[in-house]
């Protein structure tokens, strides 16, 4: 069947994977990434971030992002575009610049307008703002919030909407996959952008989970319902489920059921449009570089062999 084919058969728009430019020279990796039976959508993991696209002010660079966008087009895959306004992978000229309210708004709008215009017509969705919240649901104290206040969020969404009216505009964050202060914060951002009169179409739930402490299916179902009640769609945008290494048969079985429950939560909400895993193979996961001693978070192992999680995802998609 394949993950994407199964998702589409059940009414979803896509099942997809993140990727990154260095990996694309790996021919077996690229062949599986390009298999539209499994992946109907890809996301560039780094290539469209601010430090890649505008490393110095008003000098734009689209080489790596275009490689991923062209690959999606050649394969007939949707592209989720990631990300416009984020505190991380932000060049020093932004994060350490000397700004006023007016000059930072102008620089932010210039960035958004240029990048979104460059990719106009190619992005199913843009993650307009990424990780703007602290764990308690208050605003993260990044340069945008410090200088502009919460208005930076609706201003960013309005600029993106003006540059590509057809792209779905998302707020994207982690630890918002079950009810709680941070998910409430994400819902507050949706309402803020709406009240400002700007367009917001969706909330992206990154879903960087841990085997055994993945939120339950019922918690995820309630959470998705609370968000979609605001009139926006949702998507799982960066799903992976890590474990402390070495993996065991029991951990791989638990990982499979954690994947199944998460995918099933999306299936249970008609406004959950799709699911993206944050790359598909343990060979190229971000986890071991960030969490020492952890890994094996993805449905294909480092040899590109399917793990039990693959069958768990299919089961979550309703394939028996
Ligand atoms: O580009 C430099 C390169 O010049 C240098 O030689 C190399 C040496 O380590 O580092 C390269 O930068 C790395 C970059 O990825 C590109 O490969 C950074 O060190 C590394 O920290 C960075 O990691 C990325 C991470 O975001 C940074 O926050 C991951 O690949 C990427 O998967 C990850 O993705 C994020 C999402 O955007 C947002 N949600 C969380 C998710 C996981 O952290």
Taking the C-alpha atoms of residue 66 and residue 68, their distance in angstroms, rounded to an integer, is 5
Name the residue at shortest CA distance from atom 9 of ligand 1. Answer: 289
Residue of 18, 44, 46, 236 to mutate, ligand 1, most atoms within 8 A of C-beta = 46
- Per-residue model confidence (pLDDT) at position 134: 98
Q: Which atom of ligand 1 is nearest to the CA of 278?
A: 32
CB neighbour list of residue 60: distance below 8 Å, 6 or more residues apart = 53, 54, 114, 115, 118
Residues 6+ apart with CB under 8 A from 155: 105, 108, 109, 148, 198
Cα 83–chain centre separation: 8
pLDDT at 258: 98
Q: What is the pLDDT of residue 233?
A: 99
Catalytic annotation on 131? yes
Low-confidence ranges of the chain (pLDDT < 70): none
Average pLDDT, the chain: 98
Residue bearing tokens 């841990």:
210
Evaluate: CB of 86 within 6 angstroms of ligand 1.
no
Q: What is the pLDDT of residue 249?
A: 98
CA distance 90 to 218: 36
- Give the contacts of 72 (CB within 8 A, at least 6 positions apart): 41, 42, 78, 79, 122
Dmax (CA) of the chain: 58
């Amino acid at each position: 069947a394949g993950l994407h084919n199964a998702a589409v058969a059940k009414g979803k728009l896509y099942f997809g994977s993140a990727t990154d430019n260095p990996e694309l020279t790996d021919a077996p990796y690229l062949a599986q990434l390009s298999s539209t039976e499994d992946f109907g959508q890809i996301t560039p993991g780094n290539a469209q971030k601010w430090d890649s696209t505008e490393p110095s002010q008003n000098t734009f660079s689209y080489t790596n992002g275009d490689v991923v966008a062209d690959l999606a087009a050649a394969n007939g895959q949707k592209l989720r575009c990631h990300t416009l306004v984020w505190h991380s992978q932000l060049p020093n000229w932004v994060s350490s610049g000397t700004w006023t309210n007016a000059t930072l708004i102008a620089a932010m709008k210039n960035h958004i307008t240029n990048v979104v215009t460059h990719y106009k017509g190619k992005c199913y969705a843009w993650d307009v703002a990424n990780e703007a919240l602290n764990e308690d649901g208050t605003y993260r104290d990044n340069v945008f919030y410090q200088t502009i206040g919460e208005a930076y969020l609706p201003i960013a969404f309005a600029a993106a909407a003006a540059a590509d009216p057809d792209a779905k505009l998302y707020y994207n964050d982690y630890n918002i996959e079950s009810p709680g202060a941070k998910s409430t914060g994400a819902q507050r951002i949706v309402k803020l952008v709406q009240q400002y009169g700007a367009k917001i179409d969706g909330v992206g739930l990154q879903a960087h989970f841990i085997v055994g402490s993945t939120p339950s299916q019922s918690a995820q179902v309630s959470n998705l319902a609370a968000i979609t009640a605001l009139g926006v769609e949702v998507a799982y945008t960066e799903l992976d489920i890590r474990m402390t290494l070495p993996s065991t048969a029991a951990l791989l079985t638990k990982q499979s059921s954690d994947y199944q429950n998460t995918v099933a939560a999306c299936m249970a909400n008609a406004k959950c449009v799709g699911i993206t895993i944050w790359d598909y193979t343990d060979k190229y996961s971000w986890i071991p570089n960030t969490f020492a001693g952890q890994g094996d978070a993805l449905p294909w192992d480092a040899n590109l062999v399917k793990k039990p999680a693959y069958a768990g995802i299919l089961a979550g998609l309703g394939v028996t």
